[in-house]
């Protein structure tokens, strides 16, 4: 197999030689191509497109070139090699000069910008290159795999296992059971017919169709000890919960975070979050949450994933969280950060195909399998925009289905511009999905125009649903007040007395109607559905937990 390709284009020989010299660091594993002509580079890329094994990973182009700008070159190159990361190289100069470049990024015309490398070695330049190569390797599952998964292509369970592994940050390989690679693995572990999915751990341990909990234990995804009394139990390992776990543990609170699935919540399914502070070029939702988890661990927080909470009760000054397996965790305070799930479709035909072409979430796990297909995305929020842009890197065509008449009402401006600028993405307004069909997998959708009432059937390889929000709060006791949609009331929104547990003092800002139980993030009534606000509420909650614990100590004294 030929080496993956790094290509640089610059008209000035000295600068081109400098770029080529710096890229030479990667020559052992990558083919480095340096070209002084944008036109010649495009011709070369056209030739490479016809070469089956050619993989162009990174394209770097000077901003100012004769004949065409660097942006124009990268735009044309993207049409030939849509998976290559596009980097615009800028000369040294004032930062104000990059404003038009940032606009090009927001419109999806380029992926990154960098200053031309200078004196060797230019580690700032290499930081960008290695980051791009790392991201590419992760997409290719090129790093050593913790586990290899073999399953039936359109099996919902196969999708579920891969999705959990992806969001957990565990490296894995996967093969369809009827592929040559899949059959080879199955023969090697003497499980030619399953039951599927078959998981083969790096040391040879084999699990056949394990439960999520069995897989979590075998793969080391659990790290907790539930013994003794905690200062804080966080229910939910999304941005709000991980923020609270990190801040709580860093301030000396014995903290544990539990989640019925894995880390990340809805944010963990986002392919790229670009409006979070400190990441001007964006960060994947799963990566952001994995970093947050590592940070919480470094302060001593415990975590326990795939542990569903089923009850919460009061025992004096303690709060006791009950898990589905009967485990009980005693704590002085609780933070509810269970987030919200995407709204389910009401079509029995579509529900029967969940995991077999119908997916709830952003398609990070399934995107590569959509090569050459026409896929649909339902939704008009940021998550839907991110999903469409990510899927467009692989699918032949992406169609967004929007109930309303505009994207800007619920989607950030930078995403609206990126969607509108992407030639692979179509948007159909005033359109809903009313049904879907397929034999074992999704094959077609029935769409209805809300304005005309017209219905039509269209072929579809996949449907990604990112609409609405349904909080996971039914398991909570009635003493915790919720609004008509199930979102938890906190602070001033809490009504008057809520039973014998209601203290004389008013609830703290994020405190629920049950003293010592707080709520943060999407599960809270009135919250702003953004990662930054969830992280902020998670951090603020720790100050309020400290105030609550001070009340307990003063009352005990």
Write out the chain's pLDDT in tens, 557 residues: 589 999 999 999 999 999 999 999 999 999 999 999 999 999 999 999 988 788 999 999 999 898 899 999 998 998 899 889 999 998 876 555 566 776 677 667 788 888 899 888 899 999 999 989 988 887 765 567 889 999 998 898 998 898 888 888 788 889 999 999 999 999 999 999 999 999 999 999 999 999 988 888 888 766 667 789 999 999 999 999 999 999 999 999 999 999 998 888 888 778 778 788 888 777 888 889 989 999 999 999 999 888 899 999 999 999 999 999 899 999 999 999 999 888 888 888 898 999 899 998 877 778 888 888 999 999 999 989 999 998 998 899 999 999 999 998 889 888 999 899 888 999 999 999 999 999 889 999 999 999 999 999 999 999 999 998 889 999 999 999 999 999 999 999 997 544 444 556 789 999 999 999 999 999 999 998 889 999 999 999 999 999 999 988 887 76
pLDDT at 218: 86
Omega of the bond leading into 197 within 30 degrees of 0 (cis): yes
What CATH number is associated with residue 457?
3.50.50.60
Total residues found in the chain within this entry: 557
The two tokens of residue 367 are 């995107």
What residues make up the domain containing 333? 229-341+470-556
| Number of other residues whose CB lies within 10 A of the CB of residue 425 | 21
Give the residue from 159, 181, 215 where a domain finishes: 215
Q: What pLDDT is stored for residue 499 in this prediction?
A: 47
Residue 253 and residue 259: Cα distance in Å, rounded?
19
N-terminal to C-terminal alpha carbon distance within the chain: 73
Selection from 34, 38, 5 nearest residue 17 by Cα: 34
Which of 215, 241, 263 terminates a domain? The answer is 215
> What local confidence, expressed as pLDDT, does residue 282 receive?
79
Compute the distance between CA of residue 362 and CA of residue 400 in angstroms, rounded to an integer. Answer: 12
Do 402 and 367 fall into the same domain?
yes
pLDDT of residue 143: 66
Query: What CATH number does residue 167 fall under?
Result: 3.40.30.10
Residue 92 lies in a domain: yes
Handedness of CA 343, 348, 354, 356 (dihedral sign): negative
Pair (73, 114) in one structural domain: yes
Same domain, 383 and 275: no
Burial class of residue 198 (count of CB atoms within 10 Å of its CB; 0-12, 13-18, 19+) = buried
Residues 24 and 164 in one domain: no
Residues 258, 260, 261, 267: is their CA dihedral positive or negative?
negative
Q: How many domains does the chain have?
A: 4
Residues 169 and 22 in one domain: no
Q: What does the pLDDT read at residue 357? A: 92
The C-alpha atoms of residue 85 and residue 110 are separated, in whole angstroms, by 8
* Whether residue 234 is found in the same domain as residue 337: yes
Query: Within this chain, do residues 14 and 134 fall inside the same structural domain, yes or no?
Result: yes
What lies within 8 Å, CB to CB, of 264 at 6+ separation is 167, 237, 238, 285, 286, 289, 290
Provide the phi-psi class of 355: left if phi over 0, else alpha when psi is between -120 and 50, else beta.
left
Q: Which of 328, 322, 344, 305 is nearest to 476 (CA)?
A: 322
Strand order in the sheet with 425-429: 358-360, 462-465, 374-378, 397-402, 425-429
Give the domain-ending residue among 465, 480, 515.
465
Q: In this structure, are 324 and 366 located in the same domain?
A: no
Q: Rounded CA gap, 439 and 468, in Å?
A: 28
CA distance 357 to 463: 6
Q: Give dist(CA 163, CA 266) in Å, integer.
A: 12
Q: Output the CA torsion 387→390→396→400 (10° steps).
A: 20
Q: Tokens representing 51?
A: 């070469």
In a domain, 222, yes or no: no
The reported pLDDT for the residue numbered 287 is 87
């Amino acid at each position: 197999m030929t080496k993956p390709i790094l290509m640089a284009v610059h008209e000035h020989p000295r600068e081109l030689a400098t770029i080529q010299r710096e890229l030479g660091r990667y020559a052992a594993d990558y083919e480095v191509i340096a070209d002084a002509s944008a036109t010649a580079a495009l011709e070369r890329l056209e030739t490479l497109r016809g070469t089956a094994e050619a993989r162009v990973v990174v394209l770097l182009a000077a901003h100012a070139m004769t004949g065409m700008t660097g942006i124009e070159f990268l735009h044309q190159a993207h049409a030939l090699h849509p998976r290559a990361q596009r980097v615009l190289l800028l000369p040294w100069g004032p930062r104000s000069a990059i404003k038009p470049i940032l606009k090009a990024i927001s419109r999806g015309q380029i992926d990154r910008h960098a200053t031309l490398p200078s004196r060797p070695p230019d580690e700032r330049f290499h930081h960008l290159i290695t980051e791009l190569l790392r991201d590419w390797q992760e997409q290719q599952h090129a790093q050593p795999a913790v586990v290899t998964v073999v399953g039936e292509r359109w099996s919902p369970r196969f999708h579920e296992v891969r999705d959990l592994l992806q969001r957990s940050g565990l490296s894995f390989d996967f093969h369809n059971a009827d592929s040559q690679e899949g059959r080879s693995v199955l023969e090697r572990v003497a499980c030619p017919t399953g039951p599927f999915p078959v998981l083969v751990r790096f040391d040879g341990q084999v699990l056949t169709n394990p439960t999520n909990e069995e897989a979590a234990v075998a793969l080391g995804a659990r790290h907790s000890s539930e013994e003794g009394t905690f200062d804080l139990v966080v229910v939910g390992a999304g941005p709000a919960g991980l923020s609270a776990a990190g801040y709580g543990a860093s301030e000396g609170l014995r903290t544990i975070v539990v989640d019925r699935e894995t880390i990340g919540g809805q944010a963990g399914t986002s392919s790229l979050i670009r409006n979070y502070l400190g990441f001007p070029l964006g960060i994947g939702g799963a990566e952001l949450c994995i970093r947050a988890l590592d940070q919480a661990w470094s302060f001593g927080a415990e975590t326990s994933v795939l542990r569903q909470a089923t009850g919460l009760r009061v025992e004096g000054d303690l709060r006791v969280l009950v898990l589905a397996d009967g485990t009980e965790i005693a704590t002085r305070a609780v933070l509810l950060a269970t987030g919200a799930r995407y709204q389910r479709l009401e079509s029995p035909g579509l529900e029967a195909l969940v995991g077999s072409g119908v997916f709830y979430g952003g398609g990070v796990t399934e995107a590569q399998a959509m090569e050459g297909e026409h896929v649909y995305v339902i939704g008009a929020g940021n998550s839907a925009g991110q999903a469409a842009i990510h899927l467009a890197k692989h699918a032949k065509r992406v169609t967004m289905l929007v109930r309303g008449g505009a994207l800007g009402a619920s989607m950030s401006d930078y995403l609206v511009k990126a969607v509108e600028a992407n030639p692979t993405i179509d948007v159909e307004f005033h359109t809903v999905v009313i049904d879907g069909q397929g034999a074992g997998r999704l094959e077609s959708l029935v769409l209805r125009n809300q304005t005309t009432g017209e219905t039509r059937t269209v072929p579809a390889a996949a449907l990604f649903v990112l609409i609405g929000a349904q909080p996971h709060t039914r398991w909570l006791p009635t003493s915790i007040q919720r609004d008509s949609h199930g979102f938890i009331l906190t602070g001033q929104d809490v009504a008057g007395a809520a039973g014998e547990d209601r203290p004389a003092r008013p609830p703290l800002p994020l405190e629920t109607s049950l003293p010592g139980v707080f709520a943060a993030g999407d599960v809270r009534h009135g919250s702003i559905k953004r990662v930054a606000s969830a992280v902020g509420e998670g951090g603020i909650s720790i100050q309020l937990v400290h105030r609550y614990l001070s009340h307990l100590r003063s009352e005990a004294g």
